[in-house]
Structure formats: C-alpha cells, structure tokens
Chain A
Amino acid sequence: MTIVTDPHPIGADQALDADPAIALRRRENRLVLILQILFAVVSLGLWEWGSGRWFSGFWVSSPSEIVTTLWTMTADGRMVSAVSATVGVALAGFASGTVLGMGLGILLGLNPVVARVLDPYLVGLYSLPRVALVPLFVLWLGIGFEMKVAFTALLVFFPIFMNTLSGIRSVDADLIDVIKVMGASRWNAVAKVFVPSALSWVFAGLRISAPFALIGAVVAEMFSSNRGLGYLISLSASQFDTAGLFATLVVTTMLGLLLDASVVLIGRRLLHWQ
C-alpha cells in the first residue's frame, strides 16, 4: 500500500485570495455603493434645483429648507419630545402586544379545542382593517397614552401570536414522547420545550413584528394626540407646512431604520444557536 502526500501544500486562505472571483465581487460591491450615493446626490440635487422652478415650493418644499426646519425643530426641543413620546408608546405597545400574543398563542397552541373555538373570531379580527378600531378605542380609553398603547399592542399582537402558534406547533411529537419517558410532567414539557420553541419563533419573527410598534404609535398619534411624531405629521400637514412635514418624515424614517438595526442586532444575540 502506498500513501500519497500532497507535494505542494498551500494554505486555504492563500488559495482563496488568488481566486479572481473575490476581486470581482469586491469591485461589484464598490460600484453598487458609488451608484447608491450618486442616486441620492442626483435626486436631492434635482429636487433642490427643480423646487420653485418646475414645481411649486409650496407643495414640495426643498432639501435645504427641510434641513433648516429640521434644525430649528430640533433646537427648540419639539422634535426630541415628539420622538420620546412616540418611542414611549411604541415600546409600551410592543411589550403589551408581545405578552398578549405569546400568552394567547401558547394557550391556543396547547389546547387545540380552544383554538378551534376561537379560530373564526381571530380570523374575523385579523381581516378587519385595524385602523377602523381607533374611534372605538378613543371612546373607551380617551385620547391619552393608554389608547395609543392599546392600538399599538393590537397591531403587534397578530404577528407575535402567529409566531408563537407556529413555535408551539412545530414541536415534534416524538420529542415530547421522549421527555415523557424521561419523567417530564406536562408542566416540564411546557417550560422546557413548548415555551422555548415559541420564543425562538418570536425572536426569529422580530424583524416582521417590531415595525408594527412604530406604525401603531405613529398612526394612533395622527388620529388623536397632542404629542409625538404622528401628531407633528398631521399638524404640519394641516398648516400646509410641507418643510415641517418632510422633516418629521425624515426623523420617522431614521427611527424606523434604527429600530430595524437594533432588532437585527438583538436577534443575532438571541438566536446565536442558529
């Protein structure tokens, strides 16, 4: 028997670096970035230049005016208090929606009969455009913090509920059998298997469900409020203050991006085992 050894061993990374596919991919990434920046510059430039020339500045404002307005609104504290009000509603709504969604999801996941009983009502509630419920919430809870939190929670509820249900239902019957033989009680099965499985699905779905918190808060504030980003949006619009409106939209967008980035970061930590 002969044993052959490689006469020219090379390191794995050495081999990788030499591959032209890598350089090609790097070039492509750079090109995409340059084009993205170019796109922003050109569209902002066209907007600035065209404002008052091709279309009336009254309707579209202009980037420079928006930046100035954003600056004054930030300097006089209006923007900061709006952001903190909205974030407060979004967080409280998200927390309560998550508790409700997971609670009901676990209950229904573990009790198929209850799930069958409630199914048509949940489908009905899900099909109803939830914004239509705002007036009812206002009647019940007034136009304060509670009403906005309740509406946000309702929006967050469904995606969390669905994820929880999938998490419970994806548990392998085989696994439950095995742990019963290990001596597990029903409660052990719930605590050690069903709930962790539901949590892992909720974490995995966070990027879908978390944005509903911001949407809920802003929409509720637009309807009835004297605080928050939603309020600033509807106020600026009613005063025909397009620059203020755009400035608020810019801040709302940035808040949304920040939220998404933190959810991605948190998700990566929570789901490190995947």
Chain B
Amino acid sequence: MIPIVEFDDVSKVFFKGTVPIQALGRLNLSVREGELLAVVGPSGCGKSTLLNMTAGLMKPGTGAIRYKGQAISGANTQVAYVTQKDNLLPWRSVEQNIRLPLEMGPHKRLSEAEKRERVARYIAMVGLKGFEKHYPKELSGGMRKRAQLARSLVYEPDTLLMDEPFGALDAQLKLMLQAELLKTWEGSGKTLIFVTHDLTEAISLADRVIVMSGRPGRIIAIADIRLPRPRDVFHIRFQPEFGDYFEELWAALKQDLASGEAAT
C-alpha cells in the first residue's frame, strides 16, 4: 500500500533576519492510510512546519513530500487543518462558522439540503447541539475547539491535521475532548496526524508515536502502540504496557528536551 503522506529526505531552513535556522534536518517519514499518528517533540523542533508542508502551505527546502503518491503543489485541499491558534470567525455563529468550508471550493456545489444536514450532523457529533446560534465570544475554550473540529470535519477530508488542539485546556476537559476525538475517529477510516507536547496524550490516542529531536528536527524514535481499541482514555494510562511505552519514548524525548532548551 502506498503511504498517504510521504516525507522523503525533507529539510527546511528559515531565516530569522539574516541568520539561517535549520528547522528540519533530513526527515524521512511515511504516514499509513487510516492511522492515527502522534508527533511529539520539544518546542521549536518543526512539528508545525511538518503539518504546514503536508497542508501544502510551505514548500520543503530540499527533499520531497508526496500525498497519495503525488507531489503537493499549492494548498492541499484533501486535508483539513486545525491549527494551533483559535481562529473561528467572531462575527459568525457556531453554525455559520461550521458551514464556512461548504461555501467555497468544490463543496459549494453540494445541495442546500445536504449542507444543512452535514452541519447539523457534525454539530451533534462534537456535542455542540443547542449552541448553534451562539457566537465564538460566548463559548468556552473547549467549545471553540469543538467548533473548529466540526468545521474541519464538515467537508469530509481524507486526512485531518491537528496542531496541539488541546494544549491550552485544563486536564479534565482535555480528557473529555480526547475521548470525543477517539469516538469520532475510531472506525472512520480517516488518517489523523496529531501534534502534541504531551507524551501521555500521544500514547493514549495514537497507533504510532514519533518523537522528534530538537532543532534541526529529525525523528529519533518511533513506537507502534499496540493497545487495544476502542480505547478508554480515562483508564488506559493505568495499563502496564502503557508504562513501558512511556518509558521507552520518554528516554528518547528526555535527552533532547535538555538540548532543545539549551538551543533556544
């Protein structure tokens, strides 16, 4: 089977003024179709850059990226991207925000009835029923994340990219949303690339976890997480295998956390 996303010896240099910063260094990665891949690594190691490239918003410096075997040119409209920042449109209600993708591109051609049905279905799926007419200002942080997730799902892309979606939320809410995300994803057949700082979150959710080094970002550990599905995020961390995965990945992450701090 060809990988859905393929990074082939990718590196990327940015300039901070005149100083070059090597963000990614010769990275190789194949994302399998239908898997939930979690990416962890120290701050500034190029995780967001990785997603930006997959979304076609940035070109690789050297090397190549392929999506379903094809080189990516321009924005990759087969994926949905939930970025690190909160960015609902403040003047649109929840319902209107979630409808946004259906008002442009190829989705515009859907019938009005189909659009309405989809918006309602995804609002229900992320648990925002009853809040359709609310504006982003009137929602809590967790609800805004749910609305963003629904906005990404509503046009039914093959692949979902999520950049630290639950980073700013408190611990309980984070668990709730992780559980909901798994419920939505498990059995959907979609590929999900999930960037996080939180190793526990990564192991709880993912089929595969990759650990990146500090700048220049490379992959320093990969683990297949063979915990059974469907998973219960509230209790999975107490399973003995969980601890083994954690130890193994933490050992890799730890050595680079120190050097990552020193580098920044």
Contacts and interface: CB of A to CB of B under 8 A. Distances in A.
Interface of A: 172, 174-175, 177-185, 188, 192-193, 196-197, 200, 273-274
A175 B80 CA distance: 12
Contact of A183 (B82, B83, B93, B106): B106
Interface string B143-157: 000000000000100
Closest 4 interchain pairs by CB? A183-B105, A273-B135, A180-B75, A182-B101
B57 to A, nearest CB: 5
19 contacts: A174-B84, A174-B87, A178-B81, A178-B87, A179-B100, A179-B101, A179-B104, A181-B55, A181-B75, A182-B105, A183-B155, A184-B105, A192-B89, A196-B89, A273-B90, A273-B91, A273-B93, A273-B135, A274-B137
Contacts of B103: 188, 192
Given A180-B57, A182-B77, A193 B89 contact: yes
A189 to B, nearest CB: 9
B104 A177 contact: no
Contacts of A188: 103-105
A200 B155 contact: no
Given A177-B81, A180-B75, 18 more contacts: A174-B83, A174-B87, A175-B89, A177-B75, A177-B83, A178-B82, A181-B75, A181-B76, A181-B80, A181-B81, A182-B77, A182-B80, A182-B155, A192-B89, A196-B89, A200-B91, A273-B92, A273-B93
Nearest to A200: B91
Contacts of B57: 177, 180-181
A177 B52 CA distance: 9
A140 to B, nearest CB: 39
Given A174-B85, A200-B91, A181 B79 contact: yes
Interface in B29-67: 52, 55-57
Interface string B129-165: 0000001110000000000000000010000000000
Interface string B16-32: 00000000000000000
A231 to B, nearest CB: 41
A182 B100 CA distance: 9
Chain B CB count within 10 A is highest, among A177, A192, A196, A197, for A177
A196 B105 CA distance: 19
Contacts of A177: 52, 55, 57, 75, 81, 83
B107 interface: yes
A251 B79 CA distance: 61
A136 to B, nearest CB: 40
Interface residues on B, range: 20 to 34
Nearest to B83: A174
Given A174-B87, A181-B56, A192 B76 contact: no
B59 to A, nearest CB: 14
Nearest to B105: A183
A166 to B, nearest CB: 15
Nearest to A273: B135
Nearest to B84: A174
Contacts of B52: 177
A95 B77 CA distance: 40
Given A181-B81, A183-B106, A192 B56 contact: no
Contacts of A172: 85, 87
A273 B155 CA distance: 25
Which of A179, A196, A200 lies at the interface centre, i.e. has the most chain B CB atoms within 10 A of its CB?
A179
Contacts of B107: 182-183
Contacts of A192: 89, 100, 103-104
Nearest to B85: A174
A173 to B, nearest CB: 10
A183 B103 CA distance: 10
Contacts of B81: 177-178, 181
A172 B107 CA distance: 23
B56 A185 contact: no
Interface in B144-199: 155
B90 A185 contact: no
Contacts of B85: 172, 174
A184 B87 CA distance: 16
A174 B77 CA distance: 16
A200 B135 CA distance: 14
A196 B56 contact: no
A200 B136 CA distance: 15
Contacts of A182: 77, 80, 100-101, 104-105, 107, 155
A196 B91 contact: yes
Contacts of B82: 178
B224 to A, nearest CB: 29
Contacts of B137: 273-274
A196 B52 CA distance: 26
> Which of B81, B106, B135 has the largest count of A CB atoms less than 10 A from its CB?
B81
